[in-house]
Amino acid sequence: MELNGTIQFSRGGSMLNVRRLLAVVLVLLIAFTSVLATVPSAKAETITTIEVYIGKNTGTVNGKATTLEQGALIKSGRTLVPLRFITEAMGATLVWDAVTRTANITLAGNKIALTIDKTVAKVNGYDVTLDAPAAIINSKTVVPMRFVAESMGAIIAWNATLKKVTVQFSMDWLKNKAIVPFWEAMAAALGTSLKGLTDEFNATHPSMEVQLVQMANYTTLQTKTIGAIAAKDPPLIAQAYENWAAQYATGFYLSTFDSYINGSNGLSKAEIADFFPKMWDSSKLADGKRYMMPFNKSNVVLYYNKDMFKAAGITRAPTTWQEFADDCAKLNKVDDKGDQIQWGASHTPSVDLWYGLVYAYGGRVLNDTYDQVLFANNNGVKAGTQLFADLFAKKYMHYTTAYGDQTDLGVGKAGMTFGSVAGRTYYEQAIAGKFELGEAPLPAGPAGEAAALYGTNIVMFGNAPKYTQRQKDAAWAYIKWFTSPHTQAVWAAQTGYMPARQSSLKDPVLIAAYAAKPETRAGLEQLSGSVLEPPTGGWNDARNKITTNLQNIFLGKVTVADGLKKMAQDVQAVIHK
């Protein structure tokens, strides 16, 4: 509606006419204002809020009190509530199968099936393991409240002080999902596993959708993430090594996880204690703040050709570095012309392997504040590095680049090599069934076993203005779910990565996987002796310096003493960055 009239006053016009004109204008303005007032505003979300208290027979739905046929109770750490109460409060359809004692729940196309006393339920076609199954108590059917609510797209919060559980739900959330962009670099079988698990999360959390954005490799992931931060457009969550996270934290978009861990949908003390301590510790930066959660954690293990070992009269994998050197000599072969036809081992110089070697020989790389190099003049570090340099010089160990060591082992030209616990599938592909593959913990040095704990964590750019609280809560829900015991068991069984949770070792899925291939526990067997690499931004450049200097040492371009001295100078120059 528009007011296009023009009011003109003639010189001879009376005051009465002016007043009449002003009255007309006032009436029109009032009418115009009334029209604007009737224009509808954007539709607000309709949210249903449900509250129950442990031990009480009453609850509320949108503030209206209701009597429960069975009071809410806790069993196996999970809140159980009457089945009919929670389904009716959320507007779901319930069909009871008396023969199988199964509750079939449907809401907006999402389907849940819970059977009394069964610890496995169905959600949109996926099997979901329950901590506490549906049960019949006092002749009433009760179900795990969190499971049912989240499976229908609701969010749930626990107030320990009041012993109150709050569920919030909106049909609008099912129509407009909380989108979580996740930048990752999981390829081949690892990527297949991640996609399968993420599809399961999306199906069993219908108001949320994690969208995987796969990068070609870790270098691409890091480069693009740095670029996205500079462009003020980071992903919501991403894989990141500790030193990457230290760099990202300077951009002010990275958020800590403490508020989520300690929040109403957080982790209990028992759940926190269930994480392997080394992995839990690796998710903090040098300032003590928890910017990360464990994701795909691994360490370096020894892979070897069992058939070649048997032919050489070697009965087991080496347990010390000196035994490793001795076995390299036994496995080494030259033909009648003196040409090398078999090496004891093949190795591409690795910062992670050398880092563990330093500690196995009683040394340290940096001090506790990560600002001072400690290895330059350590005799143990010199001895461990010299052992490798001598093996290369004698041609008992083949110097390779990139994944040449995998190729050597696969074609039967090397007896041993080193790789990530998650790399077994790649070695098996290279071997193609030609011989039996062995896997063992790294050999011990004079100071014992030591292996660098590596693999990435998940970080959240929760301070980026573009993301809503719903999206951030969904991101945390995914991370919490992914690091839960059963999901970690499946992840470890499918990929070879170590589970982040200790109780995952009791999960039937992982028990079966380790029973089928017992040696794949090698990484876990050396986890207690794992050492953490520096969670500082300068460590990224330091790794490059270490690699270059190791190459020079192992190629015989410099002596071990001079090479370590130069390495120490180079690392010291960049570690503060």
Which residues are within 8 A (CB) of 55 and not within 5 positions of it... i.e. 6 or more apart?
71, 72, 73, 163
3-state secondary structure of 32: helix
pLDDT at 131: 86
Closest CA to 409 of 353, 347, 451, 350: 347
As a whole number of angstroms, the distance between CA 309 and CA 387 comes to 21
Domain boundaries along the sequence of the chain: 58-171, 208-298+457-517, 299-454+528-574
Strands 414-420 and 292-305: antiparallel
As a whole number of angstroms, the distance between CA 154 and CA 166 comes to 10
Query: In the chain, which stretches have pLDDT less than 50?
Result: 1-42
Rg (CA), the chain: 31
pTM of the model: 0.89
Which residues are within 8 A (CB) of 358 and not within 5 positions of it... i.e. 6 or more apart?
364, 365, 375, 378, 380, 381, 384, 450
Are 436 and 445 in contact by the 8 Å Cβ rule? The answer is no
pLDDT at 495: 97
3-state secondary structure of 354: helix
Closest CA to 546 of 268, 349, 269, 266: 349
Which residues are within 8 A (CB) of 134 and not within 5 positions of it... i.e. 6 or more apart?
83, 103, 114, 115, 116, 117, 118, 121, 141, 142, 143, 144
State both tokens at 158: 């626990």
Closest CA to 305 of 445, 417, 185: 417
Residues linked to residue 63 through DSSP beta bridges, in sequence order: none
Say whether domain 58-171 belongs to CATH 3.40.640.10: no
As a whole number of angstroms, the distance between CA 554 and CA 395 comes to 11
208-298+457-517: CATH homologous superfamily?
A: Periplasmic binding protein-like II (3.40.190.10)
Q: Where are the alpha helices (DSSP H) in 288-410?
A: 306-311, 321-331, 351-360, 379-393, 404-410
Residue type, position 282, single letter:
S
Domains 208-298+457-517 and 299-454+528-574 share a fold: yes
pLDDT at 498: 98
The continuous run of DSSP H or E covering 449 comes out as none
Helices and strands in the chain: count of H runs, count of E runs: 22, 25
Q: Where are the alpha helices (DSSP H) in 305-378?
A: 306-311, 321-331, 351-360
**Phi and psi at residue 246, to the nearest 5°:** -60, -40
As a whole number of angstroms, the distance between CA 428 and CA 191 comes to 17
Which residues are within 8 A (CB) of 531 and not within 5 positions of it... i.e. 6 or more apart?
355, 356, 359, 450, 451, 452, 453
State both tokens at 535: 């969670």
State both tokens at 509: 């899925």
Residues in the chain: 577
Residue type, position 12, single letter:
G
Closest CA to 270 of 135, 459, 78: 78
Burial of 115 (0-12, 13-18, 19+ CB in 10 A): middle
Q: Domain 299-454+528-574 is of which CATH architecture?
A: 3-Layer(aba) Sandwich (3.40)
DSSP labels, 501-559: BGGGGGSHHHHHHHHH-GGGGHHHHTGGGEEEPP-STTHHHHHHHHHHHHHHHHTTSS-
